[in-house]
Every structure is written in structure tokens, then in C-alpha cells.
Chain A
Amino acid sequence: MNDMVLETRAILETRDLHMAFGGLVIFDCMNFALRRGERHAIIGPNGAGKTTFVSLVTGLLKPKSGNVFLDGRIITNDTPQQRVKAGMVRTFQINSLFKALNPLESVVLALLERDNKARLSLRSVSAETELIDEAMALLTQFDLARDAYGLTEALPYGKQRLLEIVLAVALRPKLLLLDEPAAGLSTQQGHEVFSQLAHLSKDTAILFIEHDMNLVFRYADVVSVFAAGALVMQDTPENVRKSPRVREVYLGN
């Protein structure tokens, strides 16, 4: 019974979120909920407020009023670090990696930070055998094992995107936010990235912004349509696809 309640409680919720830049109102009253384990896509035309919404959720921007809840707790005023520790992790539209560290070192570093083990000590990193094993397993899972010791900046773009995602997944987030994970990738690579994400445990809910409708309709359980700062529709991919309202938003009147 208790489990049932947990299953259905929202992992992410926003209540009456109000955001404006100067006199320009972006959202007036945004109420949004995302359930545990959901694969949730946000779509909408340019200027619909998608990126602003994600920035509010991750703490890059502060709302004028309203609250953001993660797993039932208010996080509106938490720092980005506190949000990560609370289980909310994001990736970036542009690759943001550690140039001088190789992929293995980067992932080990992420795991050390997740477990708060990167504190002052005299013990070599090699003593953390369990974390190193976990790092290697993650790299293998995302098909990066052969690149583990190579220069990060020499990796092809698609592999850098994958490494970006591995760094986020390594933190075992409750909620993973992906801002256009397939941007700059070929259709084939985009599908590879999403099929890897589809295999992640349902302990991690995923919220992603994506322009490629094929990816959205194939991999999302729920789709939210944003237009002009409002949540126009939130439903299954089939219903969204059929909706005349959505067509109108995208194609104009």
C-alpha cells in the first residue's frame, strides 16, 4: 500500500511558478508534475519557455514566485550543488567535459563526488577499487570502454555526448534532466543515445527537451506541450500526436 503511494507521488512538481524578465512575463502560473520513473518529454515551438522552465527547475534561474518540489521537498531556494545532492542532475546542450582528464578519470571523479569520497587524504585513487569497477561498468554499458584511456577532447562528438550522459547517470539521480541530448547527432546516433537511456533503471525519472519528434514519440511515456509560456497539453505520445490543438500550436492557425 505504502509502495503504491510512493510509486504515484510526483518526483518533480512545480506549483504556481511565475517567471518574468523585466516586464516580459514568461509563465504566469505553471503547474507541472512528473511521476517517479517516467520518461517525460517537453516539446513546443521556439520561445515556448522550455529552456527557461528547465533553468528554473535546476536553479540556474530563480522564479518570481511559486515553488519547485523534488520528491515532495521544496527546493526553490537550494543551490545547484544542493539540488544535485538531492538527486536532480542535468546535462548540458553544449558538451561540458574535463579536457585534461580521460573518460575513465572523469567518471571515477563523478562517482567519488557522488559518494563524498573526494576529500583530503593520502590514499591513492587506486584504493577505490569498487568505484573504479563501477566506472568501468558504466563506460562499458555506454560503449565507451575502448576510449577509457584516450584524450577526452579527441573523442568524436557523439561519444562526447555519451560521456556527458554517463557523468550524469553515474550520480544515480532520481531525476535526470536532458536538454536536447541528441542535438548535433545523426539520426542513428540519436537513437543510440535514447536506447541507452531507455535501459536505465526506473529509479531514475527522465525529463528531456527534444526537437526530433521521432525520438519523442518513440521514447517518451508522457509528452508535455509548451506554447507561449503555458502548458497546453500533457498526455501520452499517441494522444498528443492526434491532438488538433497541438497541430495548431505548431502549424499556426
Chain B
Amino acid sequence: MSALERLTSDHAKAATGYFALLARWNIWEVLFWLALAGMYFVPNVDLVLMSQIFIWGLFAMSLDILLGYRGIPSLGHAAFFGVGAYVAGYCGKFGWTEPISALVLAMAIAAIVGWLTGKLVQRVTGVGLLMVTLGLNLILYDLVHRSTDLTGGDDGLQGVTIAPVFGLFRFDIFGRTAFWYALIMAFLLFAVARAVVKSPFGLALLGARENPRRMIMLGAPVEGDVSRAFALGAALAGAAGALLTQTTQFVSPNTLSFQRSADVLVILIIGGTGRLYGGFVGALVFLILRDWLAAISPVYWYFWIGLLLVIVVSFFRKGLLPSVEALINRWKPSKAEEPSQRVPPA
């Protein structure tokens, strides 16, 4: 082997190693999930609040696929959450009580709705996207809200029954089963989303986020990828909706409200886009703060949420998680020779 060939092969090995490093689970990720699981054992912890955090975290992560990785802002993401929630609700109402298969069905139907939405918006950009997604959300909300015979209208869907998980773990009033069910499902779906964003498709999403015109000149199916990203994001949002129905055994039009679409965007922005964990960190901060503030001043808590949003966006720019990462990286001794484990900035 000549010196040049050896050099080239070393380069190639280093390059494969770089991509492997990007895909490898690091210690912080393991600790993060262990810490969430560990919350179960904290005395006096509010288990119901914790399962809400997992569900909101999963929901915000599903928006991150679109906003953080593909650069598509959506003001109507609750539409997919609501579709998943109602599918799971109807399953429970009409005798399909097994929760995991109902969750899968909810995801599949939400994915179809997402894919069609993607088809519709794939040529729209910028503010237009906000308007179209918002419009679709409002249409769906009004349909559900008005069809009282089918959906129970404002009162929500009554008589939703969910069987015990694996026939063993009944959904109890303390939220023990809900905690583990929501955590494990959120984790599994997180792992899937993580694999997708580290796959070639994830790289194509980032490319299209950075420069869609250049992607077209690489011959990339940019428009089809928008539909696929919407299908994936919608499936994950639908899973979050189904989890909410199954853990509370209730669905109302609230699941598709504009308020929910706005909240999930706030959660993702607070946590930070483009790293999947931002949604979960944002959900932790948002829900714990909301719970705490609502106890202090039940009417005016949105004031503080608004203030938090202004502070985060003004001073942390990219959200809490990226700011913490930057701080840790500054303290770390620099390893100039190694390819840095760089997450593309949002």
C-alpha cells in the first residue's frame, strides 16, 4: 500500500467514524432518560403531571421533525394530535380496548392525514405555511366541535374504556401505569425518531432546510420529502394524542385547539429546536412552571409563560438546551484533533 493510499484509507475510516459518532448514544442521553424514569421514585411526585410531561415532550418532539430538521413552521400541529386522540377514543368507545394496537392505529391514521397535509403545502413557504397549517387546524376543530352527535361536541367523547396494558397493568387513579406507559412509549418513539434523523433521510431534511433550491439541483425529491416529513411528524403527534386519551380515558375538542398548537410551539422554542431533546426539556419547564404558577395565581399564569418566552427568545436565542450545551462545550478541554460532535444550529 502506498503512502497516499494509506492516507486516503485513513481519511475514509475517520469519515465513517464521524458519522458513527453522530449516531452513538452518549452518556448525557442515557442519564436524561434514567432521570425521567427515576422521577417515579421521588417522594410526593405528581405522577399525573409527569405523564403529561412525557406526552407533551413527545408532541413537541414531533413538531421538531418539521420545524427543527426540515425548517417548516406549523401553527396547526394540534390537528394531528387531535386525530390521534380521537382515533384512540373511538377505539376505546367501540370495544377495541387493547391500548398498544389502538396507539399504532392512531399513528397510522395521523400519518395519512399528515401525508395529505404535506401534499397540500409542499409548494408553500414561509408565512404561507403558518396560515395553511393554522387554517387546516381551525377547520378540523370546528368540524369536531360542531358534530355533537359524532363527537359529543364540547362535552367530549364519553365512555372510553381502555384495557390493562398487556392485560396486566390497569390504568389506576394514581397514574402509576400511566407514568410507565407514557414514558416507555415516548422513549420508544423517541428512539425511532432519533434513528430517522441520523439516517440518510435526516441528512436530506437538513439539506432541504438549509437550501431547498440546491437540493433540487442534486436531483433530490424535495417535495416528496416534505410529505414524508409531515407523515412522520403527524404519526408521532398522533401517538402523543392517543397517549393522552388512553391515560385519561377521555377526549375533548380541546385536543385540537389552536391553544394547543401555540403551546407546543412555545414548548419547542423554549427547549430548543433541531435536537429532539428540546421538546422534552421544554415540556418539563413549561408544565412544571404552569403547574406551579397556576397554584399561585390561577387566572394570570399566562403572564409568566409569556414573560418566560420573551426572556428565552431574547437572551438564549436558540432555546435552553442549546445554551446549556454551549456552556458545557466552553468548559470542556478542547479536543482539536477529533471531529467535534456538532449538532447543526437551528
Contact = CB atoms under 8 A, between A and B. Distances in A.
Nearest to B229: A120
A152 B232 CA distance: 29
B148 interface: no
Interface centre among B192, B204, B232 (most CB of A within 10 A): B204
Interface stretch (B14-22, B180-188, B238-246): B14-22
Contacts of B8: 136-137, 140
Interface string A146-182: 0011000000000000000001000100000000000
Interface residues of B, number: 44
Contacts of A199: none
Interface stretch (B28-36, B89-97, B208-216, B307-315): B208-216
B203 A109 contact: yes
A96 B214 contact: yes
Contacts of B344: 100-101
A151 to B, nearest CB: 9
Given A122-B199, A124-B19, A136-B15, A85 B206 contact: no
Nearest to B274: A100
B122 to A, nearest CB: 13
Nearest to A112: B200
Contacts of B202: 125
Interface residues of A, number: 47
B207 A89 contact: no
Residue among B198, B201, B340 facing the most chain A CB atoms (10 A cut-off)? B201
B210 A100 contact: yes
A80 B199 contact: no
Nearest to B195: A122
B339 interface: yes
Nearest to B21: A126
B207 A148 contact: no
B218 A167 contact: yes
A130 to B, nearest CB: 10
A90 B217 contact: yes
A81 B192 contact: no
29 contacts: A81-B220, A81-B222, A92-B217, A98-B207, A98-B214, A99-B210, A100-B206, A100-B345, A101-B203, A109-B204, A113-B215, A113-B219, A117-B200, A118-B201, A118-B220, A119-B201, A120-B196, A124-B19, A124-B20, A124-B22, A124-B195, A124-B198, A125-B199, A125-B202, A126-B16, A126-B23, A132-B15, A145-B11, A167-B214
Interface of B: 8, 11-12, 15-20, 22-23, 192, 195-196, 198-204, 206-207, 209-211, 213-222, 225, 228, 232, 339-340, 342, 344-345
